[in-house]
Chains A and B, each alone.
Chain A
Amino acid sequence: MRKKFVELSKKELINNPGSYVLLGDIGVGGFVLQDESLPDRVINMGIAEQSLVGFAAGLADKKANIIVHTISPFLVERAYEQIKLNCGYNQKKLILISANGPFDYEKLGPTHHCPADINLLSMIPYLELRTPSTIEEFESSFNDACNSNLSFYIRVTSRYAHSINYTELEDGWKLLKNKSNLKVNKAYLTTGESLKYLLDNNLNINADIYFTSNPKSVIPNIINKYSKVYSVEPYLRSEFVRSESVTAQIASILFDNKPKKIIKENLGWEDFDHE
């Protein structure tokens, strides 16, 4: 997805002379190749996320797209107020693209996790959210963002599913029929990284999968035909209906079976438990 991000960003820069890519000292190598000719509109802004977003807001223009890219907790959580005030209050259009999904950097510890990104950003007006599950969804999300008057946050993840045979439905939903191609009574609703989990674990043998890149999507009526419907986005707490069993399973895999231990060991919470 990050390679596609670079490719699409370059395309946007070529097509729109007013557009910029602002990097928080990450992903620079993807842009700054010796044979490239876009250095003046790809700016490495250093490690200054709050001012990065403020600067981006100053650059914002109705005819251009200002793409801001850095590691998700530093973008979303450290610069949250700047995003709130610049996108929500001042209504400056920005395209915020994370460098990672919530737990892509799981081995680096909780400083680099950002499971709350969607929950936090969902409270900001004039800001659309996208959690693409595939490269194709990332591309359509990116293009939607470039063509919209609203700001966008797009969560890039390394845990994406590869091209799959799906049917387009209304409102951005896609249907992946069960492998058995039978009439089944079970369906999964999913977005983001969880699609990959479902497919990697063959959970679609006897179940249909509905996925979307928009975590605020209204659940399609078609799911009423199923007797069992599970939501699988363990750290999103979106408007999907949740199912405890499946989300717990997925969480246990994504969190390397010891999510709380990772957090406790790094923040010293275990000491408090013993008191």
Chain B
Amino acid sequence: MMSREGHVASSFSIVDILVGIFNYQIKIYGQAKVDNLVLSKGHAVFALYAAMAEYGLLFTESEDAICKNNSPMIGHVPVLPELGLNYGTGSLGQGLSYAIGASYRERTKDFNPEYFVILGDGEMNEGSCWEAILLLKKFELPLRVFIDLNLSSERALPVKNFIHSIVENFDHVIVDGHDPDLLVQSLSRCNKDKPVFYICNTLKGYPLVELSSPIWHHKSPSPDEFGSFINKLETFFQ
């Protein structure tokens, strides 16, 4: 936060999705990891950094370097294979097709590797996402595709109804995106060999209601605002 850069509200939007994914990974694989996770809405990387730190995938000292000059911890998902971050994102609409290819590469006759992809609903404006969904249907790989439906982009180009239409072609779950336990349950029950979409109803900035305003999309809090947000978060979690 000290750099006053990045997309804070979008990051809060997906924190619980990441927690759900990591808890599921721990339950199934015994560890949380990011080498099979593609955060396609790369501007929400602060949530990824925070979740990685919480789950021991990132040294906490690294947090101080986020978005500082010459730091590899940039304001979108960086390419840092040493941390398991094999694919940098930031330009929307790139992550799903990559994840399909990666899953295709790793599949064997007896094993279909799970990949976790987080898309934004605004990102679903991009035609490349729709292309990639066609590829996913063609290959039927076990991707867990989370669409962060925070509705913040509906004001510009509504896509919600089309998202609901397209996922009808797949196994899909409509879920509270701020309930990690529910996400773990849904993930645990899903078909292990097929793609599954998770339409995650979320609030941008959750649980900080004021961050849902469009002006907070790429605004960083002032020191006073930052202090206020910390207080509210502490109250919320009590």
Q: Contact partner of A50 among B87, B102, B104, B128, CB < 8 A?
A: B128
How far, in Å, is B195 (CB) from chain A's closest CB? 14
Is B105's CB under 8 angstroms from A51's CB? no
| B6 within 8 A of partner (CB) | no
**Contacting residues, chain B, for A90 (C-beta < 8 A):** 79, 87-88
Complex formed: what's the CA distance from A91 to B93 in Å? 18
Q: Considering only CB atoms and an 8 Å cut-off, how many residues of chain B contact the other chain?
A: 24
How far, in Å, is B109 (CB) from chain A's closest CB? 11
Given A50-B127, A85-B94, A91-B79, A55–B101 Cβ distance below 8 Å? Answer: yes
**Contacting residues, chain A, for B94 (C-beta < 8 A):** 54, 82, 85-86
Is B99's CB under 8 angstroms from A48's CB? no
| A42 within 8 A of partner (CB) | no
| A81 within 8 A of partner (CB) | yes
Is A58's CB under 8 angstroms from B98's CB? yes
Residue of A nearest to B97 (CB): A54
Complex formed: what's the CA distance from A244 to B214 in Å? 54
Residue of B nearest to A45 (CB): B135
**Contacting residues, chain A, for B95 (C-beta < 8 A):** 54
| A56 within 8 A of partner (CB) | yes
Complex formed: what's the CA distance from A50 to B94 in Å? 8
Is B88's CB under 8 angstroms from A54's CB? no
| B131 within 8 A of partner (CB) | yes
Is B79's CB under 8 angstroms from A89's CB? yes
**Contacting residues, chain A, for B99 (C-beta < 8 A):** 58
Is A58's CB under 8 angstroms from B105's CB? yes
| B134 within 8 A of partner (CB) | yes
| B23 within 8 A of partner (CB) | no
Is B91's CB under 8 angstroms from A51's CB? no
| B65 within 8 A of partner (CB) | no
On A, residues with C-beta under 8 Å from B are: 45-46, 48, 50-61, 81-82, 85-86, 89-91
Pick 30 A–B contacts, CB within 8 A, sort by A.
A45-B135, A46-B138, A48-B131, A48-B132, A48-B134, A48-B135, A50-B131, A51-B96, A51-B97, A51-B100, A51-B131, A51-B132, A53-B97, A54-B94, A54-B100, A54-B132, A55-B104, A55-B132, A57-B97, A57-B101, A59-B101, A59-B102, A59-B104, A60-B101, A81-B91, A82-B128, A85-B88, A85-B91, A86-B98, A90-B88
On B, residues with C-beta under 8 Å from A are: 79, 87-88, 91, 93-105, 127-128, 131-132, 134-135, 138
Give me 6 other A-B pairs in contact (C-beta within 8 A), A54-B95, A54-B98 excluded. Answer: A46-B134, A51-B96, A51-B97, A54-B94, A54-B101, A86-B98
